[in-house]
Each structure stands twice: as structure tokens, then as C-alpha cells.
Amino acid sequence: MSAGRQEIPDDADVCRPDAAPDWLVPLVEGCRHVSPEDVPFRRRPHDGGRPAAVLALFGTGHGGEPDVLLTERAPDMRSHAGQAAFPGGALDPGDAGSVAAALREAQEETGLDPAGVVPLVTLPPLTIPVTGFAVTPVVAHWERPSTVGVVDLGETAAVVRVPIAVLADPGSRFRITGPSGYTGPAFAAAGLLVWGFTAGLLDWMLTLGGWTRPWDTTDVRDLDEVWALRHHLSQAPGLEERRPAPGRPGVTAEGGPIR
């Protein structure tokens, strides 16, 4: 795909907000009524960045508890090594829109079967200054969950279904000061350290979905202090054998691992 200004196709025809299960209705309704001016963290509305999309895939795991699908980038990637993220990436010429791109990327990264996913709504595209991408978050329901896992160890270190209750737990939450000096929300959950763009988006969706609980926003940690220990900040059964942590992320890492 060539860089520069590109129009992001309208995904309204493929989204089905009325298909949301009851527990996702508050999030979907909240997303439907936001505008770019409502973005509560430091990301500009779409102004000509390279189109990209991420899949915020919500399902129910063991015991029927709501969860969301996240990945962790491989530790030896040239950029964004070791970062937690939603599946996603840049739109390709053959993608019909942001929903198609998000589903394609999720399938490539996790082995997800797109046939079991119901796209519900999209959030306004957000231009990330440090990367130049205009990212459209696609909120979807995992109606028929399929087996997921690491497809390519050269790109992904882990694929994790993180319970919403764990993300909303005040003990999982703090703030991180990133390489640029910007301080934003962070999560230590299911063996992942979630920060930067991904954490800002998660924080916003927890609020829109009515899941947020009071937490200590004065707990501010430096990225240097938590990066190497990120897999030990929370329990993650079965994920303890991942490869060593990569070096500390640079400024562009704050924008999230969009490829």
C-alpha cells in the first residue's frame, strides 16, 4: 500500500449493532454516540493518516465471563517488540474496508475463524502522531469462538483472552510515563503489560461499556522500571516460558504495534 492520504471505506453496511448480546449493549451504544472530539486520550482524529484497523473482539470465556482478545508482539521484531496489542494492521488494497482489514489481520496473527465474528460498530478513526496511521477500532462479538494461538513466532509471542474483570480490577491498573514523557493508562493483566495506544483504547472502552471501577490514578510508574518485569506483574498460566524481554521501547512504540 502506498503512503499518504487515503479514504477509509464506510463499514456501516457490514456492522450489526443490533446483534450485540445484552452484556455488550452498553459498549456498542456508547461507541455509536461518540465523535472524534470525545477521544479522552492524546490521539488526533483522522486527518489523512495511512488507514489501519484493529479488532477489539469481545467474547465469553470459561464460566461465561466476558473477555477480550489481545496479542503480544514477538520480542525480536524490528519495531514494537514485546508490546501487547489488539490484532490489526494497515489496510491492504484488496480490503473492502476497516472491518475486512481487522478480520484479515486477526486471522493472520491468531488463526481466528472470521466466520464466527460479528462486527458490531466502529469507533472514529484515530490518527496516531508518532506512526502516521489513522486507526479505526472495530468492536466485534465473538459469537462462535474458534481455537486461536500463535501463527508465526517471528511476529507474535502470545495470543491471550483477557477477562474484562481482570482489566477492570483496580489492582491491575496504574499509569505509565512513556519514552516521549506522555503519561497514560496501563494494565498488568494475564501476563501482559498493556500501555500506549492499546491501553488508551482499552481504558476508553471499559468506560463506554460501564466496566470501569475506581482505581489509583496517582500510581505512576516509569516504563524503564516495569518493562523487563512485565511478565511477572500478573499471573499468566502457561505463558511463563516466553522468550526474554526485548529492549526498552522507543517513542514510536507509544502508537501501538500497527504494521
Q: Is the per-residue pLDDT at 237 higher than 60?
A: no
| Per-residue pLDDT at 241 exceeds 50 | no
Average pLDDT of span 61-77: 89
- What are 73's strand-pairing partners? 156
Q: Indicate the pLDDT class of residue 234, thresholds 50, 70 and 90.
A: low
pLDDT given for residue 42 in this prediction: 55
Q: Stretch 137-165: mean pLDDT, rounded?
A: 95
Region at 88 (left for phi over 0; alpha for psi -120 to 50; beta for the rest): left
63, burial (CB in 10 Å: exposed 0-12, middle 13-18, buried 19+): exposed
Cell numbers linked to 135: 486507526
56 backbone dihedrals φ, ψ, rounded to 5°:
-95, 90
| Position 180 confidence tier, pLDDT thresholds 50, 70, 90 | confident
DSSP string for 110-149: H---GGGEEEEEEPPPEE-TTT-EEEEEEEEEESS-----
Range scoring the smallest mean pLDDT among 12-21, 54-63, 228-237: 228-237
Most confident range (mean pLDDT) of 34-48, 125-139, 184-198, 235-249 is: 184-198
Q: What are phi and psi of 118, to 5 degrees?
A: -110, 105
User: Which DSSP letter does residue 92 get?
Assistant: P
Cβ atoms within 10 Å, residue 248: 13
Confidence tier at 243 by pLDDT (50, 70, 90): very low
Q: Which residues of 144-177 are buried (b: 16+ CB within 10 A; e: fewer)?
A: ebeebebeeeebbbbbbbbbbebbbbeebbbbbb
In the predicted model, what is the mean pLDDT of residues 166-192? 92
State the pLDDT confidence band at 20, using cuts at 50, 70 and 90. very high
